[in-house]
Amino acid sequence: MKAVHFGAGNIGRGFIGLLLSRAGYEVCFVDVNEMLVSELQHRGEYTVSLASDGRETYHVTGVTALHGGDTDRVAEAVAGADLVTTAVGVNILKHIAEGIAKGVKLRLQAGGGPQHLIACENAIGGSAQLQAHVFGYLSEEEQRLAEGRLAFPNAAVDRIVPLQHHEDPLHVTVEPFYEWVVDRSQTIPGLPEIPGVHYADGLEPYIERKLFTVNTGHCCAAYMGFLHGKSTIQESMADERIAAEVRAVLGETGRLLTAKHGFDAGEHQAYIEKTMERFRNPHLTDEVARVGRSPVRKLSPNDRLVRPALGLHDMDVRPAALARAMAAALKFRAEDDPEVQQIRAELEEHGLSAAVSRFTSLAADHPVHAIIVEQYEALSRELA
Ligand SMILES: NC(=O)c1ccc[n+]([C@@H]2O[C@H](COP(=O)([O-])OP(=O)(O)OC[C@H]3O[C@@H](n4cnc5c(N)ncnc54)[C@H](O)[C@@H]3O)[C@@H](O)[C@H]2O)c1
Ligand SMILES: O=P(O)(O)OC[C@@H](O)[C@@H](O)[C@H](O)[C@H](O)CO
């Protein structure tokens, strides 16, 4: 069995590549980082260790890599793969779609068997987005041929993998916890079950629970942590004021998730507690800059802050803690993050109300817009 995985970064090596390799796939990574590609090509293996007392280590062997710019070889690899996965960042999917489409065309022409393509990104409908980008490069005839032969099941992936600072550039330290859920109803016959993956009929409860708990809480810890001078999530969570902010947003999203998906309140509370413990993992050093990265994406209407806030608003619940986290996102600063610079420029040139509208897509007369502005002003007073 062959798999091509786009993105040999932290989650690519530390989670997806590890599980696929253990499931018996020959994994070929595709990346644009020349050093990673060349190390993977020359060594064909790497190690993953768990951030826990035991520090268990896994050796991942039999892997290789291609540079994303080597489009012919990437297309050939995609054409020969039973499974194509991605962990590049949801906004990068459009850039890898053409290469994937080239491979898909070759496979369709050759009458190849069923192929699954799974985006393992933090986004709702990640694989559907990948499909839309890939289909943009296929003719109507090719799209018809693809029916029943290509599937893009949506997925939710959860494992905290911080930025790595090892001497060995391929080594990756990951938290012990992991969850990978694939929408079984969107698969076609021919996908061997991957040990460690949970298959569910309908992904929405899983992706919303993950994104609106782990990722909402995480970015709240990062943005509030930044405003209080913290540089890691572990330092942020050790500050009771910040832990209380995280608990408040997770109380709000929990209210939405239990009402919308019928989760048992006690079980959901246990999920929240476990998530907060994961953030505190003393064996990890997870930088606020990584967790808060790309605030424009995180403030977008279908992501971890605005979407649950609008869900609560529809239930006549005021999303004050979520609006406060959004206000903190607008105040987040990180030198080398272009999305931070975009927010700063919008605030300077057009002011707060315009920035809120632009990044959240909420009109100035939307009630949630007013709560964000109110929370921004409250935060400014508190921090003065
Ligand atoms: N790190 C985590 O804790 C975690 C957990 C769950 C999900 N995710 C999601 O996984 C995705 C990747 O996150 P990450 O933390 O591994 O990031 P990362 O930056 O460590 O890895 C991304 C990799 O993609 C590569 N890349 C960028 N453009 C590319 C292109 N055009 N073609 C091929 N490769 C390209 C980069 O060089 C990098 O190696 C994101 O969507 C993230 O939200 C991350
Ligand atoms: O990857 P992002 O930028 O969407 O979010 C940052 C972190 O919250 C995220 O990477 C988590 O560590 C991960 O989603 C845990 O499963």
The reply to whether 245 and 361 lie within a common domain is yes
Q: What is the DSSP secondary-structure string of 273-301?
A: HHHHHHHH-TT---BHHHHT--HHHHTST
Ligand 2: which of 160, 208, 302 to mutate, most ligand atoms within 8 Å of CB? 160
Ligand 1: which of 10, 102, 206, 281 to mutate, most ligand atoms within 8 Å of CB? 10
Give the closest residue (by CA) to ligand 2 atom 8: 215
| Single residue among 201, 225, 255 that ends a domain in this structure | 201
The reply to whether 165 and 42 lie within a common domain is yes
Task: Check residue 179 and give its pLDDT.
Answer: 98
- Parent domain of 41: 2-201
Task: Check residue 192 and give its pLDDT.
Answer: 86
| Single residue among 149, 168, 201 that ends a domain in this structure | 201
The reply to whether 222 and 196 lie within a common domain is no
**Kind and range of the H or E run holding 249:** helix 240-261
How many distinct structural domains can be found in the chain?
2
Give the closest residue (by CA) to ligand 2 atom 11: 160
CA distance 99 to 76: 10
Which residues form ligand 1's pocket by a CB distance below 6 Å? Answer: 6-12, 30-33, 36, 68, 87-90, 92, 95-96, 121-122, 157, 159-161
Q: What atom of ligand 2 comes closest to residue 162's alpha carbon? A: 12
The reply to whether 17 and 141 lie within a common domain is yes
Ligand 2: which of 15, 213, 215, 290 to mutate, most ligand atoms within 8 Å of CB? 215
The reply to whether 180 and 291 lie within a common domain is no
Cα 176 to the chain's mean position, in Å?
A: 18
The reply to whether 18 and 156 lie within a common domain is yes
The reply to whether 67 and 34 lie within a common domain is yes
The reply to whether 13 and 159 lie within a common domain is yes
Whole-prediction pTM: 0.98
14 known member of a binding site: yes
CA of 218 to the centre of ligand 2 (A): 7
In b/e form, how buried is each residue of 209-236, taking b as 16+ CB within 10 angstroms? bbbbbbbbbbbbbbbbbbbbebebbbbb
| Single residue among 132, 167, 201 that ends a domain in this structure | 201
The reply to whether 164 and 239 lie within a common domain is no
What residues have CB less than 8 Å from 305, skipping those under 6 apart?
A: 216, 219, 298, 299, 322, 325, 326, 329, 360
3 known member of a binding site: yes
Q: What is the ipTM of this complex?
A: 0.99
Q: Output the domain CATH number for residue 367.
A: 1.10.1040.10
pLDDT along the chain (384 residues), means of 10: 98 98 98 98 98 95 97 98 98 98 98 97 98 98 96 98 97 98 96 95 97 99 98 98 98 98 98 98 98 98 98 98 98 96 98 98 98 98 95
CA of 216 to the centre of ligand 1 (A): 18
Task: Check residue 345 and give its pLDDT.
Answer: 98
CA distance 364 to 353: 7
Which residues form ligand 2's pocket by a CB distance below 6 Å? Answer: 122, 158-160, 214-215, 218, 291, 293-294
The residue written with tokens 């990265």 in the block is 293
318 known member of a binding site: no
55 known member of a binding site: no
The reply to whether 277 and 363 lie within a common domain is yes
The reply to whether 237 and 125 lie within a common domain is no
Q: Output the domain CATH number for residue 104.
A: 3.40.50.720
CA of 280 to the centre of ligand 2 (A): 15
The reply to whether 260 and 167 lie within a common domain is no
The residue written with tokens 């460690």 in the block is 196
